[in-house]
Amino acid sequence: MTDSLAIRKFSDLANPTRFLAIAERVLPWLAGLCCLLFALGLTLAFTTEGDYQQGDTVRIMYVHVPAAWLSMMCYSVMALSALGTLVWRHPLADVSHKAAAPLGAAFTLVALVTGSLWGKPMWGTWWVWDARLTSVFILFLMYLGLIALNRAMDDPSRAARVSAVLILVGFVNIPIIKFSVDWWNTLHQPASVIRMGGPTIDPEFLRPLVVMALAFTLLFFTLHIMAIRNEIWRRRVATQRRMAARLAGRGD
């Protein structure tokens, strides 16, 4: 019973009008909660003590780590949407992974830039060709390639199906990024928050980090839903323009 209910809810979403109605209701709450968490997270980030070795630069972590997590989560969301496109032909999934690609590229860029700013005082260099850094850079290039592919095709539904295939093939990169610090013993530190046997990071730093991670996640979903909504509106405008042009042609 619950299963069929879930499926019904899920296919309800396939109707763009219904999605827009839900988005209308959910968005203010999401955005409000996101702002609240950001306010809390940023206050925590700036009021907690700095690291005894790293000083104030440790605060970069509160932006860098959530952005890096998000860059991977965004790709996972895109891969799920790509499955939705190819397996269930869910019409919103097409829009979803198209809308997520620029967001993912932005989060990856933030992670790379903040990492670079953090690396300069800590490692003494802006960039090293370390396994984690390189694989995240590849992720960035893949996002840009997907955006370019989407732009290159005229027909949106065909572009969606074709880029869905590419997203799924590119998903092999995600485990490589996640485990790159364990497989290759390089400069970037290994995982210290989500690991077997509990986090090794001090609670002093963990609290703001978790709040910021939640805030970033909510920010992603808020922007994602807004981007989907914009894309639906954009397609409707395009369709109406085409209809108007056809009607004008008939009138002559």
Partner 1 sequence: MTALLLRDLKLSIRAGGGALIGILFFMTVVAVIPFGVGPDLNLLSRIGPAIVWIGALLAALLGLDRMFQADRDDGSLDLLLMQEHPLVLTVLVKCLAHWLANVLPLVLASPLLGLFMNMSEVAIGAVMLTLLVGSPALTFIGAVGAAVSVTLPRGGLLVSILVLPLCIPVLIFGVSATYAAVEDPAPFLPPFLILTAITMFFAVLGPAGAALALRNAGD
Q: Which is nearer to partner 1, 22 or 144 (CB)?
A: 144
Does residue 161 bind partner 1 (CB under 8 A)? yes
**Residues 82, 99: contact at Cβ < 8 Å?**
no
Across the chain, how many H-helices and E-strands are there? 8, 0
Piece of 41-49, 109-117, 120-128, 160-168 that binds partner 1 (CB under 8 A): 160-168
Does residue 153 bind partner 1 (CB under 8 A)? yes
Residue 143: both structure tokens together: 């996002």
Closest to 26 measured CA to CA, from 222, 158, 174, 162: 222
Does residue 169 bind partner 1 (CB under 8 A)? yes
Helix, strand, or coil (residue 41): helix
Residue of 13, 176, 201, 206 that binds partner 1 (CB under 8 A): 176
Q: Which is nearer to partner 1, 171 or 221 (CB)?
A: 171
Does residue 162 bind partner 1 (CB under 8 A)? yes
> How many residues make contact with partner 1 (CB under 8 A)?
24
Shortest distance, position 118 Cβ to partner 1, whole Å: 24
**Residues 59-118 contacting partner 1, CB under 8 A:** 86
Residue of 7, 26, 39, 148 that binds partner 1 (CB under 8 A): 148
Does residue 191 bind partner 1 (CB under 8 A)? no
Tell me which H or E stretch contains 4. Answer: helix 2-12
Q: Enumerate the β-bridge partners of residue 51.
A: 55
Piece of 1-9, 94-102, 164-172, 236-244 that binds partner 1 (CB under 8 A): 164-172
Helix, strand, or coil (residue 108): helix
Q: What is the 3-state secondary structure (H, E, C) of 127-196?
A: CCCCHHHHHHHHHHHHHHHHHHHHHHCCCHHHHHHHHHHHHHHHCCHHHHHHHHHHHCCCCCCCCCCCCC
Does residue 173 bind partner 1 (CB under 8 A)? yes
Q: Which is nearer to partner 1, 148 or 237 (CB)?
A: 148
Closest to 218 measured CA to CA, from 40, 4, 82, 95: 40
Question: What is the contact surface with partner 1 in residues (CB under 8 A)?
Answer: 86, 134, 138, 141-142, 144-145, 148-149, 152-153, 158, 161-166, 168-170, 172-173, 176
